[in-house]
Amino acid sequence: MKKHLLAFAVATTLATTAFAQSNDTIAKVKASGAITMGVRDSSGALSYTLGDGKYAGYHVEICQRIIDNLDKAIGKKSEVKYISVTSQNRIPLTQNGTVDIECGSTTNNATRQKDVAFVNTTYVEEVRIAVKANSGITSIAQLNGKNVATTTGTTSVQLLRKHERATGVDFKEVFGKDHADSFLLLESGRAEAFVMDGQILAGNIALSKAPADYKIVGEVLSVEPIAIMIRKDDPAFKKLADDTVNAMAKSGELAKLYDKWFVQPIPPKNTRVGLPATDYTKAAWATPNDKPVEEYVKK
């Protein structure tokens, strides 16, 4: 009997491994009974921790809808496991099968599309600059000689350096390990500015000890499609996820969820991010697509 049980366990393990290696997420979840969601600790209202292993946010909730539809496809309820990912490890953990669906604040760009796939865009971001309200800084030009914080593994400082108004502006990058750490660099005075996605800036400001002490200023550095990330070459799961997002967009559920997380008070402190949906985000809902940021730059 024990030999039969051992053989069954080995066979199940090998089958699950084979499904993971073939990038067939639906088959993997059906075999294992579990799906792993990659989440962020401090990605504004998109994905953040509530403590005690609980996560919330716009992308977390959309991912839950996708998983609900996956459960219907496999005919059973799957166990959802959460793993906190960072800007540095989110792509390799998705590639190697540790994470099945990454529900954070990842920009969809052509380089990343070589390694992973993206679900149709749910949010279009504007990269901005946060400073202390009494700093006197209102534009890129005033960052000359300043320490500028950003998060390791993100593209924000690269965008700042490439901006036409940054020509001749000499600043020093200081890096936080995650978005909360980067904001702490600004909060503690180790940086005079924090360059990042606008909603991440607004979310961290809203959750800070003194929100009125900070403001978002300056030129829009970039317009970027932010999307849920999955493994590459998994057409069945990509279609299931896209169909879920498309149906939510068509029914108006995406707009309602956006209002819930970006306009209304959110837990745990009932603070408001205060960022109504932009025309770019509304356009992504109206015409669902997984175009990379390079397609936005062409406009």
Domain assignments of the chain as residue spans, ordered by start: 19-124+225-297, 126-224
- H/E run at residue 238: helix 235-251
Identify the pLDDT of residue 145: 94
Identify the pLDDT of residue 298: 59
DSSP of 116-142: EEEPSP-EEEEEEEEEETTS---SGGG
Could you tell me the end-to-end alpha-carbon distance of the chain, in angstroms, rounded to an integer?
66
| CATH number of this structure's domain 126-224 | 3.40.190.10
Q: Which two tokens stand for residue 282?
A: 């509304």
Identify the pLDDT of residue 71: 98
Strand residue runs (E) in the chain: 34-39, 42-43, 47-51, 54-56, 79-84, 101-107, 116-118, 123-132, 147-151, 172-176, 193-197, 214-231
Q: Which pLDDT tens digits describe the chain residue by residue (299 residues)? A: 444 444 434 444 444 444 445 689 999 999 999 999 999 999 989 999 999 999 999 999 999 999 999 999 999 999 999 999 999 999 999 999 999 999 999 999 999 999 999 999 999 998 899 999 999 999 988 999 999 999 998 877 777 777 766 778 889 999 999 999 999 999 999 999 999 989 899 989 988 999 999 999 988 888 899 999 999 999 999 999 999 999 999 999 999 999 999 999 999 989 899 889 989 999 999 999 999 998 987 54
Given this chain, do its domains 19-124+225-297 and 126-224 carry the same CATH topology? yes
Q: Is 37 helix (H, G, I), strand (E, B) or coil?
A: strand
Identify the pLDDT of residue 176: 95
| Selection from 212, 241, 299, 220 nearest residue 100 by Cα | 241
| CATH number of this structure's domain 19-124+225-297 | 3.40.190.10
Q: Which two tokens stand for residue 53?
A: 């292993």
Based on C-alpha coordinates, what's the Rg of the chain? 20
Check if the beta carbon of residue 271 is closer than 8 Å to that of residue 265.
Answer: yes
Q: Which two tokens stand for residue 28?
A: 């993997």
What's the rounded Cα separation, in Å, for the pair 193 and 42?
A: 18
